[in-house]
Chain A
Amino acid sequence: MKALCWYGKEDVRVETVPDPKILNPHDAIIEITRTAICGSDLHLYDGFIPTMEAGDILGHEFMGEVVDTGSEVKNLKRGDKVVVPFTIACGQCFFCKRGLWSACDNTNPNAWMMEKLYGYSGSGLFGYSHLMGGYAGGQAQYVRVPFADVGPLKIPDGVPDDKVLFLSDIFPTGYMAAENCEIKPGDVVAIWGCGPVGQFAIRSAKLLGAARVIAIDRIPERLQLAERGGAETLDYSRCDDVVEELKFRTGGRGPDACIDAVGLEAHAMTPSGIYDEIETRLFLETDRPMVLRQAIQACRKGGIVSIPGVYAGILNKLNFGAAFGKGLTFKMGQTHMHKYMKPLLQKIMDGAIDPSEVISHRVALRDAPRMYKVFRDKQDHCTKVVLDPKAA
């Protein structure tokens, strides 16, 4: 089959590799009909995530048709159309049973590495480094899905792929980010980053009853898309001090909740951003927590900072004192996908939201290497890339 493989920083190629096969009884093989490039993939593309190996197949947002099932998969059959969550969960452990699906105990074959780094390991993820399990990803024609009786969500006939594909990650991720804000009537939510995750956070915050959403980015078409989703916008490249601006716009109190939908590769030309740039180049810091610092500073006393943006390692000069001084609550982590997929499919079916509106590019799998660069550099008004592995 054809698959997109990682070979190093800014080096991804479509190669011919063997077809996947069933390895365990709860596995299924899916023939992929649609797959997407995620902002998280850019961290791999930019070489921020350790333990990648040349030849690793990328991709964790995908859907398709079941072509084969292991002996223990009773709920799926050949031909079923499914969306697959990017986190792999067993459904049986302490964490799965408590709805903390992305903390599943039993799906990371390399859990020991994570334990050394983080104390404990989260669940395995598709196409996201050996630290996260080393599972082959879904920017490919076929993929092996472990615990296929637990994760994949069956899609009723007649629903277009483009509407449901993002149930695989970014819609639930934006939704959980907003849900973590515990939105109450009258609340103002500030959201950094108007990439796909930010867009779904904006729309979800609105669905959950936020009075106002203030969306922050600098890319014009992304700010426009944010506006269409019901947000007020703030272009940080035209603003001297984002924190002061937010204070002013919220009557001096500050946003009730702040969402960091940017993560470890935040871009900025402020002194704090330049500091991070130097530190990461000198290996003194692995992540650039520039947005996180702003969110902590801007958040009102007793407010919530919700962090769907990915952080991986060591953060310097984090204003933790401000967080303590204001009594902030932090919520973060990989999305507990399995909890959100079904209810959010219902919202799509009800017409409350159409996730396909974030898509800017639909291309063949073979164009993926070029599209990684276009998406990373925000060229060509690119907001989200969907790949068709069947297109010639």
Chain B
Amino acid sequence: MSSQLIDIPALKARRNVNQRKRAPKALRIPLIAGGATLAALGIIRRSPLGIAMAAGGGLLVYRGITAKGGWSSSLIYVRKAVSIDKPPEELYRFWHNFEELPRFMRHLRSVRSTGRGLQWVSAGPLGKSFSWDAEIVEDRENELISWRSLPGSQIENQGSVRFQSAPEGRGTEVRVELMYQPPAGKLGAAFAMLFGEEPEQQIREDMRRFKELMEAGEIATTDGQPHGRRSKITTMLKSASGYGRTDEQMGAQRVVS
């Protein structure tokens, strides 16, 4: 599916488009399987070496899962689709309430209407944040919304969301396309920290949260549930990943009332 806004053939023709390198699928599965058994075996040993093996195994699983090329500061293009068991009107209406977008977009702190358009503020690592102004390019009721950052923005971007009714009461197919130019230099590094190695996954997670809110009325979470003592390694790995707001920080926003 192509968009009026994002000209994919032209985009692909550009030489600096981020060629996303994936670990070949054939390699990824053994990586995951090997990681799982390595973790299992490491746990058998329960010695310092065993624990290291378990952690290494866990990392292998993780690497297998996320295997991809690194972050590049070239142009990023992402598209994702999700089916939601609600009519297009309802989904369009919720999305069109831009101030509400941070309810399911983990990396956004706020969206505000200004005289010029919309001001987006993202939640950055270490208290840093980015902001940019955008204008609505096209707005077709119950069908499509597209936007574009205004000249001079820290992060140049444009995107669209479309809502297409699926046949036989299968709800709505929602498709998001996003294109952006990550900033260079120090800003770029902070930006990469915020969005992680995988902008694609961030978008998919945002869309999953949108779907959960719309269908189930809340976003599934385990943040804040009890557990026994965690190992130092787990705690370290946890705090080293997952920028953006936690479910707990998103708090009451996670819910449709």
Check A47–B223 contact: CB distance below 8 A.
no
CB pair B40–A47 under 8 Å, yes or no, is yes
Q: Is B215 a contact partner of A286 (Cβ separation < 8 A)?
A: no
Q: Which residue of A lies closest to B34 (CB)?
A: A283
What is the 8 Å Cβ interface bit string for chain A, positions 134-169, against chain B (1 contact, 0 not)? Answer: 111000000010110000000000000000000000
Shortest CB-to-CB span from A282 to chain B, Å, is 8
Which B residues touch A46, using CB under 8 A?
Answer: 40
User: In the complex, which residues of chain B have a beta carbon less than 8 angstroms from the beta carbon of A112?
Assistant: 201, 204-205, 208
B198 → chain A, closest Cβ, in Å?
9
Main secondary structure of the interface of B (DSSP, over half): helix
Kindly list chain B residues whose C-beta atoms are within 8 Å of the C-beta of A124. 220
- Name the residue on A nearest B232 (C-beta): A54
Whether the pair B228, A93 counts as a contact (CB closer than 8 A) is: no
Near B by CB (< 8 A), chain A positions 220-272 give none
State how many angstroms separate the Cβ of B41 from the closest Cβ of chain A. Answer: 8
The digit string for B198-217, where 1 denotes a CB below 8 A from any CB of A, is: 00010011001001100111
Report, nearest first, the 9 A-B pairs whose CB atoms are least far apart.
A5-B228, A55-B228, A47-B40, A50-B36, A9-B43, A90-B216, A283-B37, A8-B43, A116-B65
> Which residues of A sit under 8 angstroms from B54, Cβ to Cβ?
8
Interface of A toward B, CB cutoff 8 Å:
1, 3, 5, 7-11, 13, 15, 17-21, 23-26, 46-51, 53-57, 72, 90-94, 97, 105-109, 111-113, 116-117, 124, 133-136, 144, 146-147, 280-281, 283, 285-286, 312-314
B85 on the A face (CB < 8 A): yes
A56 to B234, CA, bound (A): 12
Interface hits, B37-80 → A, CB 8 Å: 37-41, 43-44, 46, 54, 57-58, 61, 64-66
Known: A55-B229, A97-B85. 15 other contacts (CB 8 A): A5-B227, A8-B46, A17-B228, A18-B226, A20-B226, A50-B40, A53-B230, A53-B231, A108-B220, A112-B204, A134-B222, A135-B222, A136-B222, A146-B220, A281-B41
Please indicate the chain B residues that have their CB under 8 angstroms from the CB of A313 in the complex: 32-33, 36
In the complex, the chain A residue whose C-beta lies closest to that of B67 is A116
- What's the minimum C-beta distance from B20 to chain A, rounded to whole angstroms? 15
Q: Which B residues lie at the A interface, using CB under 8 A? A: 28-30, 32-41, 43-44, 46, 54, 57-58, 61, 64-66, 83, 85, 170-171, 201, 204-205, 208, 211-212, 215-231, 234, 247, 254-255
Task: Give the Cβ gap from B89 to chain A, nearest Cβ, in Å.
Answer: 17
Cβ distance A110 to chain B, nearest Cβ, rounded Å:
9
Known: A24-B254, A116-B66, A286-B37. A3 touches B228 (CB 8 A): yes
